[in-house]
Amino acid sequence: MGANRIASRYAKALISLAIEEKLLPAVFEDMTMFKKACEDSREFVLLLKSPVVKTDKKLAILGEIFDKKMSKESMAFVNMITSNKRERYLENIINEFFILYKSHKNIVTAVITTAVKLDASLRKAVEDKVAKAYGGAEVEIEERVKEDIIGGFILRVGDDQWDASVLKDLRALKKTYSLN
């Protein structure tokens, strides 16, 4: 079975359990903490993926790091994944969990790329437009600055993308007037 299918199935199970047991806020916080640990420590991720380190050693390390910080349900989930020798997928499972969480909470992530950093009023305007376009969804703005687009913006929400950059227009002009 592929890594994405494994991650998706475990993430669905985790979010279903969290919703059913009314533990979603606690599980969300726990998974956020675990994701941060993965982002902050490459060694931690390598430990999870290592076939050399025995399962009982990994369980002990995970317990030492997270036992006092995570809810017992989240810790039981991490231990179950590790006991089933699927710990190498934990990072992917958590990423899938966040996708499902955002869907459940009606949160969309808008990635906007501009040549210069947005000011607060423009950022708010983008947030409002995206919220309106997506049925009043809560919007998270992820801002990227890429000077080579020259001006305008590229907005990506899920699989939708709007490219209103000067670079795109220049490329279109070049293609139109190319002698090829």
Q: Choose the final residue of a domain: 69, 85, 103.
A: 103
pLDDT < 50 regions, the chain: none
Q: Which amino acid, residue 29?
A: E
Q: What is the CA radius of gyration of the chain?
A: 21
Q: How far apart are CA 49 and CA 109, in angstroms?
A: 29
Looking at the fold, whether 8 and 88 belong to one and the same domain comes out as yes
Helix, strand, coil: what percent of the chain each, to 5? 65, 15, 20
Looking at the fold, whether 119 and 93 belong to one and the same domain comes out as no
Looking at the fold, whether 130 and 76 belong to one and the same domain comes out as no
The pLDDT value recorded for residue 132 is: 95
Indicate the number of domains in the chain: 2
The pLDDT value recorded for residue 29 is: 97
Looking at the fold, whether 41 and 72 belong to one and the same domain comes out as yes
Given CA atoms 42, 48, 52, 57 in this order, what sign does their dihedral have?
Answer: positive
* pLDDT tens track for 132-162: 999 989 999 999 999 999 999 999 998 999 9
Looking at the fold, whether 95 and 129 belong to one and the same domain comes out as no
Q: Choose the final residue of a domain: 81, 103, 125.
A: 103
Looking at the fold, whether 17 and 95 belong to one and the same domain comes out as yes
Q: Choose the final residue of a domain: 103, 125, 147.
A: 103
CATH number of the domain that residue 91 is part of: 1.10.520.20
Query: Is 55 within 8 Å of 83 (Cβ atoms)?
Result: yes
Looking at the fold, whether 9 and 97 belong to one and the same domain comes out as yes
Q: Which amino acid, residue 81?
A: I
The pLDDT value recorded for residue 120 is: 94
The pLDDT value recorded for residue 179 is: 61
Q: How far apart are CA 106 and CA 124, in angstroms?
A: 18
The pLDDT value recorded for residue 24 is: 96
Q: How far apart are CA 132 and CA 138, in angstroms?
A: 10
Task: Please give the residue range of the domain that contains residue 38.
Answer: 3-103
| N residues, the chain | 180
Q: How far apart are CA 35 and CA 154, in angstroms?
A: 27
Looking at the fold, whether 115 and 74 belong to one and the same domain comes out as no
The pLDDT value recorded for residue 178 is: 78
Pair type for strands 138-145 and 152-157: unpaired
